[in-house]
Structure 1
Amino acid sequence: MQTESKKKTGKKVKYSAWCMVVLLLLAGCGSGNQQAEAQSGQTAANAVADNQTAERADAGNRRQSSQTKDGASVSNQMQDAQTAQEADTGSKVEEVQTQEQNSQTAGAVQNNGGQTDMGLEQAKSVALAHAGIEASAVTFTKGKLDYEDGRQEYEIEFVTADTKYEYEIKADDGAVLKASAEPVEKISGNGQIQGGITLEEAKAAALAYVGVEEGTSSFTKLELDYDDGTAVYEIEFYADGIEYSFEIDALSGKVLEAEMENN
């Protein structure tokens, strides 16, 4: 009996030992799974953290790129505005310069030497006053601004029915620098030679040659002369600011010589 009891007891001990081994193995497997799960969770957490870091970096890059583009756009707008402002300023400067040039042409101005220019019309008035003649009684044949001995002066010429006047007027103060008056050279009577044309016919030939009407011209020379034994009419007149000089054959009325000078 004791022997059977011992055998049973031994079997129980062995069974208990196997149970303990199995439990220990199961416990070891559970711990390994927990460690694996913990490691897997840590790896996932690290991946999420890395993804968040990458997203933050990408967002930062996008913001920086946007700021750079915005800065470039603002810079371009500022440059465009500056260019437009400079162009507008240049146009205003050109406009002011044009107005100044027009003012110089129209009236009194300051020249490079600091002299005041009284203007052509005022210079004409000075010459007429010196000659004691009204403007309605004369025809101006020349009027221009010139330089003489480092000073500005106006050269003025005009004619009446029987006199030719020449003046030099100082441009800054209107002083009369030179004045002359010469009678217009005219032929007494018709001045016609035997078998030739009359003076009036010679005048008509000269006017027709240049297409000028007598009412718009002022004659300064009408003279019968001889050139190499040939009788010629020497005729000079002004029309529309141009001086004309003619030699007309006194017999045939042929134009022998014609010259013109724009004053």
Structure 2
Amino acid sequence: MHCYFLFCACCWPAAADQAPQETASGTAQSEIFPDDEIPSSSKPSGSSQPADAEINRDAALALAMENAGVPEKDAYNVKVERDRENDIPIFQVEFETQYGDYDFEIAIADGTIIGADYEVDEEWLDRLGGSPVTLEEAKQVVQSRVPGSSAENVRMREEGGDGRGRFEGELFHDGVKYEFEIDPKTGIIFDWNADLRE
């Protein structure tokens, strides 16, 4: 499975020049990221459900969108289906936006995100405001996406071979392997993969 992940809140574009998009609710929208719907960059990526609280389809979708930092109005082609991953009953949540496609695996038993995959189209990175981050600050961005993890356990390096610098790294936490790429100029996690390991 492919798993993409989250934007830094400071990095949402002002895209009033975009054509209206029809959302999952069928409503046309003329803006992609209005200022009043910018998600907090410090939101954790895990479940806000109490332990052992079984979730339904709506809760799974809400968790995925919160984790991805995607306003509901930006999502279309939304699918939420029951499935299994490593013998764990899950909701497979998929949706698309103008800036990337998203895929989540969320445990039905407690809302834990056990798989996630997204990638922001790089053409969007040049449009996003954002704020530059150092390597250490980038580690904190990653840690904020994985509740209970420690920034000290984030392994990250700087890469620049393609002309656009990036931080690449990985984190192992609670049986899940996370791999990611962050744009140092904006602080955006533009490529994120999370996979539950057996």
Normalised to the residue count of structure 2, the TM-score between the two structures is 0.33
Normalised to the residue count of structure 1, the TM-score between the two structures is 0.25
- Greater RCO structure (CA 8 Å; 6+ sep): 2
Say which one has the larger Rg.
1
Q: Which has the higher helix share?
A: 1
Q: Which has the higher strand share?
A: 2
